[in-house]
Structure 1
């Protein structure tokens, strides 16, 4: 039986809508083309007494095999550039592919997003976890986030300062389900300066040791670096970095040998991938789930992985790191269902 709202269908298949490639289906689901359909789908879930989940590209989530919920796919597209003052304002609707936005702005001659190239997912998902890479976070360029507030079903524009951005964190994570992101606005100043503080870029990144002087060059170096360290999810299913890089007290970091951390608010940020590597997790497999041979921080679908496989392997990794280093690893992908 079809759901009352046209885009929603029962037993909606999500197996091809998550980058880890887990088999999954929702009680109801569909692609939502605009804000009206988003509200209608969420209200239908409310009437049915079911949770409502909004997904973008499914790049930072773990899906249960059976999700007793209504799952909407943010499908609204549209983006534009507007010159304002000493820079450019970029607006994008939730269904726009994030990497397309980065390549588009750099191709138009505007720098500021190049360090975030190659990150899978959509514009609507980007502020949820405050995506970041190579020394830049979305919060560095975010001006506002457009949302539907399900408390009263109104559309609102939240200034960046209202979004509670932190390391892989935002207000949207603190109050899950309340705000449905419909679009983002970014501001890129005309006075562009490359951010090369990350070790992967500070050494130049070009053949012959040439320096990175333009946004396109930085983007090229970022994409090359990502290609060398991260398996392509289209070939090998994965959800990107599986754990946050933990921040530990300075004294605790000093006791951990062979791991070079970086100063961070609250102490020292340690590379989770290195901790996992030292515990022997590179290439380790459980059922259909495995840690990548390339990078121990990436948990991959080695073939037919189930959520149970992923959970078991992740828990084993967390236990090992806690036992050896006294450090708790926090899982990055969010769970949907189960």
Structure 2
């Protein structure tokens, strides 16, 4: 069928990086976003639950999905440049890491700290992906989406997207917007962010004293590969737990009691604290229950050692959340979307 492919009772184990066995009542893979309204008007789909899936790198299925999974496989990059910067419109189905590497190859700055993050471009604004002191929201001018409530294409500017730490409008109105494209503004030159999580130390090991964006990207690749397990080797969804943001008084108390805890002051007066430190200090790093486990390499990463089910992985995640809250009085939240369970 032109523009999209439909699959009934579709297996999802190869469409999520945790490799959880699950099925969707119907799966629609799109190559042409303009056909989206037509498909969504099908009687079998019109009143069904919808789930938009990119590479499945930010989702945990705790059961089958009794609805329609939409997979955006659209491609395309359009550039408008004025010399010092560029406005770049990118189709939702483009792979995020491929796009970041393309921007570096074209001489644009800004996304170097976000290299090697799995997923698609369309997924990036939904949870405002971030790493190594940088968030994608800083470079997003607007997001194009299909509004399932108003039944039309909308362009949401930066302010309308309501970006916050690992958050956006799209998470507060789940299912309403289907992202079809993202427009970025990237400069040719900007101050580099190298003072976060060992980047400067890695640059020194590389012998780089005057780094360019591609040097920072290389340093981040080294750091990510040394700390985070490869989903191609062992099932995982990257960082499973968000760094919690707590009141300044609690952060101060935690820092007094635990000098090794990393604390980052926020603009609103609160503080972000290291979830990885809390999880490791609570004794969960490297824990394994059957095939469900917490990575020995990084305490934020929930891993599937083989055939762990979604409920088994979620049960372990809940045990970690309860253990950290009991020990430190801080409640962790999952970063991925948990399908079929109350988070």
Shorter-chain-normalised TM-score: which range? over 0.9
1:279 to 270, 277, 282: 282
Partner of 2:263: 261
Partner Cα separation in structure 1 for residue 88 and residue 172 of structure 2: 26
Unaligned runs of 5+ in 1: none
Q: Which residue of structure 2 aligns with residue 303 of structure 1?
A: 306
| Distance change >3 Å, CA 45–CA 211, structure 1 → 2 | farther
Q: Which residue of 1 aligns with 2:58?
A: 60
* Structure 2 CA distance for aligned equivalents of residues 107 and 191 of structure 1: 14
CA RMSD of aligned residues (A): 1.9
Cα distance, 1:332 vs structure 2: 0.7
**In structure 2, what is the Cα distance between the partners aligned to 1:40 and 1:19?**
30
Instruction: Give the Å deviation of 1:45.
Output: 6.7
Shift of 1:11: 0.5
In 2, Cα distance between the equivalents of 1:103 and 1:77? Answer: 16
* Residues 146-295 of structure 1 aligned to structure 2 (within 5 Å): 146-203=144-201, 205-207=203-205, 210-211=208-209, 213-256=211-254, 257=258, 258-264=260-266, 265-295=268-298
Q: Give the drift of 1:212.
A: 5.0
1:109 matched to 2:111? The reply is no
CA distance in structure 1 between the partners assigned to 2:178 and 2:44 by the alignment = 14
**SS, match of residue 308 in structure 1:** helix
Q: Distance in 1 between matches of 2:43 and 2:118?
A: 28
Return 5+ residue gaps in structure 2 as ranges.
none
Q: Note the alpha carbon deviations across 1:16-51, whole angstroms, 9 max, x for none.
A: 011111111100103111223333333337756320
Contact 2:4-2:30 within 8 A present in 1 as well: no
TM-score where L is the length of structure 2: 0.93
Kindly state the Cα deviation for residue 201 of structure 1 after the two structures are TM-superposed: 1.5
Q: 1:18 corresponds to which residue?
A: 16
Alpha-carbon shift at residue 160 of structure 1 (Å): 1.0
Distance verdict in 2 for CA 1:146–1:173, change over 3 Å: same
How far did residue 199 of structure 1 move?
2.9
